[in-house]
């Protein structure tokens, strides 16, 4: 008996090629901080694994293995000159302590200029901003860097407007960020711009990080970045403000508690904190509101529980200090807990 003929399988339609992946180049160099390199790369590699489209290359000015600041040796894919011809999407430049002292590894600035000239956008992590500025990319621009080095960056490059407290700053297609963890915030922001908030949120969940801190958010909490005052009365006031931001912390009330005149209190605050009593209280209340929103509180509850008052007052404060609305801030943070 003849064997039955196998049925003919339907011919599948030819697969249509998807959009070309975005070519992302990390420029490594001698003495670079390892986490400045690996932090953003983890974000982009996770995004690719979860459905994004990035083609990642790590290069060095001469193609040689580099030794990072931690002593870890990093094997690169290519020299800058050997990166395949054609336009690039993103160039990332990490930081190094030597850059803040005006010492640049051989070929670094030329490499930055070469890659930037081929790329749609350029981003730096931490002290990498010094390399962008040294290459002439930040003239007349806004930028940030690690809080320890913002004053140095501003003094060395007078045409540059330095934001001393932002996590990251965008000026056109140039991006600069603060310390190493801010490089992850910046990378998440770039993924969100490229692939949408859903994928960026999945990457944040995968890496167990916040999605994502707004660029204008402060690098440090108010108490952490305020030197502990030597004045006993002022120390007690700062502790009371932090413990209960919603209490009556008007100038008159604070001066009464301190046993000094409102005018003398303002002098003490300026001398020891660099701001006025009103400015300090506002900053503490803002951070308290951020924490409440990140933990799922409504805008109304956050405004009331921090002493800011109304939704509109909270909205104006967020826009002025962070550049986002309270609702947008809450959405970015609270979605990571769902």
For the chain, give the mean pLDDT. 86
**Does some domain include residue 59?**
yes
- Of the pLDDT bands very low, low, confident and very high (cuts 50, 70, 90), residue 219 is very low
Number of domains in the chain: 2
- Of the pLDDT bands very low, low, confident and very high (cuts 50, 70, 90), residue 211 is low
User: Are residue 301 and residue 164 in the same domain, yes or no?
Assistant: no
User: Are residue 179 and residue 250 in the same domain, yes or no?
Assistant: no
- Of the pLDDT bands very low, low, confident and very high (cuts 50, 70, 90), residue 317 is very high
- Distances, alpha carbon 287 to alpha carbons 113, 219, 245, in Å: 39, 12, 10
pLDDT over threshold 90, residue 324? no
User: Are residue 67 and residue 146 in the same domain, yes or no?
Assistant: yes
User: Are residue 263 and residue 121 in the same domain, yes or no?
Assistant: no
pTM of the model as a whole: 0.65
User: Are residue 169 and residue 37 in the same domain, yes or no?
Assistant: yes
- Residue with more model confidence, 147 or 112: 112
**Does some domain include residue 4?**
no
Q: What is the pLDDT of residue 272?
A: 84
- Distances, alpha carbon 305 to alpha carbons 296, 299, 308, in Å: 13, 10, 8
- Of the pLDDT bands very low, low, confident and very high (cuts 50, 70, 90), residue 117 is very high
pLDDT over threshold 70, residue 246? yes
Q: What is the mean pLDDT of residues 156-173?
A: 90
Convert the pLDDT of each residue in 11-40 to its tens digit: 444 444 567 899 999 999 999 999 999 999
Q: What is the pLDDT of residue 145?
A: 94
Q: What is the pLDDT of residue 336?
A: 40
Q: What is the pLDDT of residue 167?
A: 83
CATH number, residue 256 = 1.10.10.60
**Does some domain include residue 249?**
yes
**Does some domain include residue 79?**
yes
User: Are residue 188 and residue 50 in the same domain, yes or no?
Assistant: yes
Query: CA–CA separation, 82 vs 313, rounded Å?
Result: 54
User: Are residue 156 and residue 229 in the same domain, yes or no?
Assistant: no
Query: CA–CA separation, 11 vs 265, rounded Å?
Result: 83
**Does some domain include residue 297?**
yes
Question: Of 182, 207, 232, which one is at a domain's C-terminal end?
Answer: 207
Query: CA–CA separation, 195 vs 21, rounded Å?
Result: 11
Q: What is the pLDDT of residue 281?
A: 92
Q: What is the pLDDT of residue 10?
A: 40
Going by C-beta distance under 8 Å and a sequence separation of 6 or more, which residues neighbour residue 240?
Answer: 247, 249, 257
Q: What is the pLDDT of residue 229?
A: 59
- Distances, alpha carbon 130 to alpha carbons 28, 170, 203, 220, 286, in Å: 15, 16, 29, 21, 31
**Does some domain include residue 17?**
no
**Does some domain include residue 215?**
no
Query: CA–CA separation, 123 vs 128, rounded Å?
Result: 8
Query: CA–CA separation, 149 vs 92, rounded Å?
Result: 19
User: Are residue 197 and residue 61 in the same domain, yes or no?
Assistant: yes
Q: What is the pLDDT of residue 230?
A: 66
Question: Of 142, 175, 207, which one is at a domain's C-terminal end?
Answer: 207
Query: CA–CA separation, 132 vs 122, rounded Å?
Result: 9
- Distances, alpha carbon 222 to alpha carbons 103, 227, 242, 303, 325, in Å: 33, 10, 9, 18, 20
**Which position among 43, 66, 109, 126 bears the catalytic label?**
126
User: Are residue 66 and residue 184 in the same domain, yes or no?
Assistant: yes
Question: Of 207, 241, 268, which one is at a domain's C-terminal end?
Answer: 207
Taken in order 22, 27, 28, 33, the sign of the CA dihedral is negative
Is position 126 annotated as part of the catalytic site? yes
CATH number, residue 115 = 3.40.50.880
CB-based contact 305:246 (threshold 8 Å)? yes
**Does some domain include residue 80?**
yes
User: Are residue 280 and residue 181 in the same domain, yes or no?
Assistant: no
Nearest to 169 by CA among 181, 183, 149: 183
User: What residue numbers bound the domain in which 320 lies?
Assistant: 222-337
Convert the pLDDT of each residue in 62-87 to its tens digit: 999 999 999 999 999 999 999 988 89
Q: What is the pLDDT of residue 238?
A: 86
Joined together, the tokens standing for residue 139 give: 């003239």
User: Are residue 174 and residue 139 in the same domain, yes or no?
Assistant: yes
pLDDT over threshold 80, residue 193? yes
CB-based contact 86:94 (threshold 8 Å)? no
Query: CA–CA separation, 105 vs 149, rounded Å?
Result: 19
**316: β partners:** none
- Of the pLDDT bands very low, low, confident and very high (cuts 50, 70, 90), residue 210 is low
User: Are residue 251 and residue 155 in the same domain, yes or no?
Assistant: no
CB-based contact 80:109 (threshold 8 Å)? no
């Amino acid at each position: 008996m003849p064997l039955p003929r196998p049925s003919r399988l339907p011919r599948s339609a030819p697969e249509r090629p998807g959009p070309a992946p975005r070519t992302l180049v990390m420029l490594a160099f001698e003495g670079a901080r390892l986490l400045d390199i690996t932090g953003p790369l983890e974000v982009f590699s996770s995004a690719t694994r979860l459905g994004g489209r990035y083609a990642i290359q790590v290069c060095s000015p001469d193609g040689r293995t580099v030794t990072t600041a931690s002593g870890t040796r990093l094997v690169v894919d290519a020299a800058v000159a050997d990166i395949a011809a054609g336009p690039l999407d993103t160039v990332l430049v990490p930081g190094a302590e030597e850059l803040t002292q005006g010492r640049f590894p051989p070929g670094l600035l030329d490499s930055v200029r070469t890659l930037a000239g081929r790329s749609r956008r350029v981003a730096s992590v931490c002290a990498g901003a010094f390399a962008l500025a040294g290459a002439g990319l930040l003239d007349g621009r806004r930028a940030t860097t690690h809080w320890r080095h913002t004053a140095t960056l501003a003094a060395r490059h007078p045409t540059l407007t330095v934001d001393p407290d932002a996590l990251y700053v965008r000026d056109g297609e140039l991006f600069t960020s603060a310390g190493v963890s801010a490089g992850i915030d910046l990378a998440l922001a770039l993924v969100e711009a490229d692939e949408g908030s859903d994928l960026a949120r999945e990457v944040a969940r995968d890496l167990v990080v916040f999605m994502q801190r707004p660029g204008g958010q402060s690098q440090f909490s108010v108490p952490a970045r305020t030197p502990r005052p030597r004045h006993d009365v002022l120390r007690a006031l700062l502790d009371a403000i932090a413990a209960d931001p919603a209490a009556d912390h008007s100038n008159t009330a604070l001066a009464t508690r301190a046993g000094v005149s409102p005018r003398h209190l303002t002098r003490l605050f300026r001398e020891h904190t660099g701001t006025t009593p009103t400015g300090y209280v506002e900053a503490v209340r803002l951070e308290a509101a951020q924490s409440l929103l990140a933990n799922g509180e409504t805008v109304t509850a956050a405004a009331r529980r921090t002493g800011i008052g109304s939704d509109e007052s909270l909205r104006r404060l967020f826009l002025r200090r962070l550049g986002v609305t309270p609702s947008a801030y809450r959405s970015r943070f609270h979605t990571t807990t769902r």
